[in-house]
Structures are given as structure tokens and as C-alpha cells.
Amino acid sequence: MCGPITVAFSLAEQPSAPGRWQQLRFHLLLNVGRIVSYTLVGATIGALGSVLVIGGQMAGVGSLLRRGIAMATGLLLIWFGLAQISPGQVPKVPLLNPMAQPGWHDRLGRTMEHLAIHPQRWTPLLMGLAWGLMPCGFLYAAQLKAAETTDLWRGGAAMLAFGVGTLPTMLGVGASTAWLSADRRGQLFRLGGWVTLTVGLLTLVRGNDMVDFTGHGALICLALALIARPISRLWSPFLTYRRALGVSAFVLSLAHMAHMVTMGWSLRALPFLLPSLQVGGWAGIVAFGCMIPLAATSFNQAQTFLGDRWRQLHLLSVPIFVLAVAHTLLLGSSYLGSFDRSTSHWLGAIALVSIAVLALLTRWRGFWSLLSLGKFYAPFKS
């Protein structure tokens, strides 16, 4: 969102043909306001995080909420990085990209241009303060990190660092738009996407305590993607985010595999495990292998090119889900893969199987008819 708005400011200045120093001053004040706004929001979010620490929700590096924030941040960064690398191929997520809604961004751009044509002395600073409060998916990821600091001052410092870190790009794009070619701007934009993607992957694979969390996260995303179409008449947002959920399942599975490899896991060790663990290991490997072609074709051009074969290929998500459940049950440290099979482990296994069966039944029209809810069932497109 920020790049196009910066360009809109710069293009709005062209009629009066200001000098480069005037352009630099305008965008410097604009970004100072943006950074101040970021810092104030970060301090507020950090203070909220400190309340969660006192309540015990974020106590400890390996706490559930901290790991959830890390996983959400990593997924957001990867998604936005892909969107920068290949604009138009990765679908916009309405909740995370409010400015991507039809007409919103155009109206915002026209308003910004109008305000920037004849700016007063402090107009850029005030506009920057407002700019820092606008919804932006990439900004959400930074704010999650500010919340993770669990401190008012460190939260503010985290968002200050984020603002200062983005200053060279925003200032450079804004001040140079009038004399930098569109191709060069596009190259810089895609380069930033690769950096964002890399940071997102590193966020997901950081820390060995994430190995189970990424695996369970992948299983949850896959289950939600499977039931998105059948329940769309009852709850449509899942259908909007279905592709995002499927890609997230693959990314989390990739992070899960990366954790296992960095922890010293080797394929050659499988034959020396107990039979149940061998089955669980191979189930996970096969499931991940089947996910690769689905992830590689999760964009609009592939769907158009493959036609009916695209849907047939993506029906692999059902056996993938079954294999992932088997992998979790047999090899998961909290289920039947544990050497100490306590009552809690058995209850967890039963709960997992029940949820998996319910997810699969949700895709079957007969199940809805059995519950006299057939009118709410959304059939799959042929």
C-alpha cells in the first residue's frame, strides 16, 4: 500500500515542478509523521502485550501466544513477499489488504494527490501522521512483533526501528519517482519482496520449539481449506481465504520439515524406528510430496491453463489431509508417537481423529442431508 501512495504524492508534485530539495523535504516530513505514528501505535501495542504477560498468556519464550504470533508473522511476511515478487498472481486477502478493495485505493490516491498539489508548511507532517494509521498487511506483521516485546518502551522502539528501516525505501521511491523509470521501480519492489519472503521463512524456522507448532498449524490450515466450500453458505469468509489457507498449510509444512532436518532427523534413520513410527514418518513424507504440485499451481494462470485438470489435481488435498493426520497421530510427540501413552495422549488422539472425521464428513452432501441441513450445503463446482 505504501509504495503506490508515495508515488501518488510524488506525481502530484509534478505540476508545480519543484526542485529535488523541495521534493526531498516534502517526503522527509511525510515520513517523519509516518514514523511518529508507527512509534505511538507500537508503544500502545507493547503496553497491551505487557498486560498479557502479567496474565501469564505470553510468559516464557515458548508460550502458546508467543509461538502463535511468530507463526502468524512469518506467514504474513511470506504472503506479502510473494505478492511483491509477482503482483497479481497472489490473491489479495481483504481482511489484510483493506486498500485493495475496488475503488478504495483509487479514491485514496486522488485525495492524496489533491492534498499534495499545494501543500502548506506542515501539511506533509500531518499527512504522514494519518498515513501511519492506515491499514496495511505488512504493517500488521510489524505490529505483531511490537506486541511480542510486551513492553511499552520496547514496543515503541520496535515500531520506530521498523519505520526507520523502511525510511530509505520510502524516501528514495518518493523523491526519485519523477526521474526513476517504472521498470526500475518495479525491480526494487520485487527485490523488497524477496527480502520480505526470506525474513518470513526465517521467522517460521527460528527455534526448535516451533517444530510441533508448525506441524499442527499446517494441519489446521489444511482442514479449514477442505471445509471452506461446503460451509460457505453458513460462513463465507473461509471460501475467500481458502487459497491462502492452502498455501499457508504448505509453507508451515515446509517449515516443519526444515525444523526436523536442522534437529538432525535423517531419512536413513526411518528403518530403525518402531513400525508405527515408520508408517507415521512415511505418511508425512508422502503428504508433503503431494503438496508440492498443489502449491506450485496455486495461482490464477495455472488454474486457467489446467482447466478441469486443476480441480482433479487439487482433490489430492483430501488424501494429503488423511496422511497428515496419520503422521500426527503416529509420530507426533503429543499423541501415539510418544513412548509414554498417557490418558491425555489418548484423549488428544481421539479428539484429533474426531475432528478429522468431521472435516471429511462436512464435504459429503449425505452428511448434511442426514442432519436435515441439506439446504445449507454448498456443492463443489464441476
- Same domain? 301 vs 178: no
Q: Residues with Cβ < 8 Å from 185, sequence gap 6 or more? A: 7, 173, 177
- Same domain? 44 vs 148: yes
- Same domain? 173 vs 212: no
pLDDT at 316: 93
256-307 tens-digit pLDDT: 888 787 766 777 888 888 888 889 999 999 999 999 999 999 887 888 888 8
Rounded to whole angstroms, the Cα distance separating 5 from 267 reads: 50
Which residue type sits at 335?
Y
- Same domain? 301 vs 347: yes
Rounded to whole angstroms, the Cα distance separating 290 from 286 reads: 6
- Same domain? 175 vs 103: yes
Give me the domain span that covers residue 305. 208-376
pLDDT at 64: 64
In this model, does residue 86 exceed pLDDT 80? no
The pLDDT of 121-150, averaged and rounded, is: 73
The set of long-range contacts for 270-274, using a CB threshold of 8 Å and a minimum separation of 24, is none
The structure's pTM equals 0.64
222-232 tens-digit pLDDT: 999 999 999 98
Share of the chain above pLDDT 70, in %: 67
151-189 tens-digit pLDDT: 888 888 888 888 888 787 777 666 666 555 555 656 666
Residue whose C-alpha is closest to residue 246's, from 298, 202, 303? 298
> Structural domain tally of the chain?
2
Q: What are 312's three cell numbers?
A: 482433479
304-349 tens-digit pLDDT: 888 888 988 999 999 999 999 999 998 876 777 766 777 888 888 8
Residue whose C-alpha is closest to residue 200's, from 246, 137, 152? 137
- Same domain? 41 vs 176: yes
Q: Does the residue 382 lie in any domain?
A: no
Higher pLDDT: 245 or 72? It is: 245
In this model, does residue 194 exceed pLDDT 70? no
